[in-house]
Amino acid sequence: AAARKVAKLHGKIRRQRADFHHKTARTLVRDYDVIAHERLGTAGMTKSPAPKPDPDRPGGFLPNGAAAKAGLNRSILDAGWAQFLGILANKAESAGRFVIPVDARNTSRTCPECGHVAKENRVTQAKFECTVCGFAANADHVGATNVLLRAGLVLCAAA
């Protein structure tokens, strides 16, 4: 009974999360022509090993090391990013919007003013201050600006 309760609760959380993803994606697609985001971690980190069908047990799967990777994947999958990005991509495509994944490396360490990259630019979790040109701003804002700048470069390259 306890297991069923937990399963039921998980189902509820999944539905709420999916609902939130759909709403958020709808709003973004409605309000923006271009949506840029950091590409998810390298394929090796986010992709769980493909399940191997068990020939002796139709519908069953052989162990394939998925559990060992699960801990690492959990932090990414719990946030539901992959699911959200899938939903976003679908809605954007049917609405004729662009979704641009960009290289996520150093987005929070790169100065959007002069391009200087250093972890020292990131003074605290919240504060960015370039050690070369002195540009200072909210760190999240700097990260978002860099994502947008990179998406702009992608758009230019495609034009």
Applying CB under 5 A, which residues contact Zn ion?
Answer: 111, 113-114, 116, 130, 132-133, 135
Instruction: Kindly state the smallest distance separating residue 37's Cβ from Zn ion, in Å.
Output: 24
> Which is closer to Zn ion, CB of 9 or CB of 114?
114
Instruction: Kindly state the smallest distance separating residue 137's Cβ from Zn ion, in Å.
Output: 10
Instruction: Kindly state the smallest distance separating residue 146's Cβ from Zn ion, in Å.
Output: 12
> Which is closer to Zn ion, CB of 73 or CB of 129?
129
**Quick one: CA torsion of 137, 138, 142, 144, rounded to 10 degrees?**
-150
> Which is closer to Zn ion, CB of 29 or CB of 107?
107
> Which is closer to Zn ion, CB of 39 or CB of 116?
116
Instruction: Kindly state the smallest distance separating residue 111's Cβ from Zn ion, in Å.
Output: 3
